[in-house]
Amino acid sequence: MKHPLALLALLAATAAGAETPRGLLDTYAAEAASRTPGFQASARRGADFFGRRFGVSEKMPACVSCHTEDPAQAGRHAITGKDIKPLAPRANPARFTDAAKAEKWFGRNCGEVVGRPCSAAEKADLLRFLAEGA
């Protein structure tokens, strides 16, 4: 709520109902830039984040625990064994086309795996990595 403009942009995008991964990336990048002037999303940092072992959760220590090292491949839930469709929009165009859904899963998974909410900068970096590869 510290950045009403970014929040407004996100809500406006939600109201439009047809977001794109690029649009979400831009929204997160703009929010990050409002805190860190000159911020540019980095696929390299996104890849590092995606592969990092946070170790907060025993069964889900990292993003790759469920989504595998290659987010363009199908994953598998580390606890239930359920198949997970590819996370990368380049492999699964349905990904990151709903801002509210993206926020819900960032909320759940960042809390579970990272142990805290993810920053807008981390989300922007991750989205660039998922969209473009490292």
Partner 1 sequence: MKTALCALLLAAGLPLSARADRLPLPADAPPAYAAECGSCHLAFPPALLAAADWRRVMAGLDRHYGDNAALDADTARVIGDFLARHGGNADRYANAGTPPRLTATAWFQRKHRKVPSPLWQDARVRSAANCSACHPQAEQGRYGERDIALPELRHRREH
- Site for partner 1, rule CB under 8 A: 57-60, 76-77, 79-83, 108, 111-112
Written as six digits, the tokens of 16 are 């439009």
Nearer to partner 1, 69 or 112 (CB): 112
Q: Which of 61, 105, 108, 114 is nearest to 87 (CA)?
A: 105
DSSP assignment string, 41-95: --HHHHHHHHH----SSSS--STHHHH-S-TTS-EE-TTT--EE---STTT-TTT
Phi then psi for 109, rounded to 5 degrees?
-75, -35
Least distance in Å: CB of 77 to partner 1?
5
Beta carbon of residue 82, minimum distance to partner 1 (angstroms, whole number) = 5
Shortest approach of partner 1 to residue 61 CB, angstroms?
Answer: 12
Q: Which is nearer to partner 1, 2 or 83 (CB)?
A: 83
Cβ closest to partner 1, residue 38 vs residue 81: 81
Residue 27 Cβ, how far from partner 1 at the closest point, in Å?
A: 21
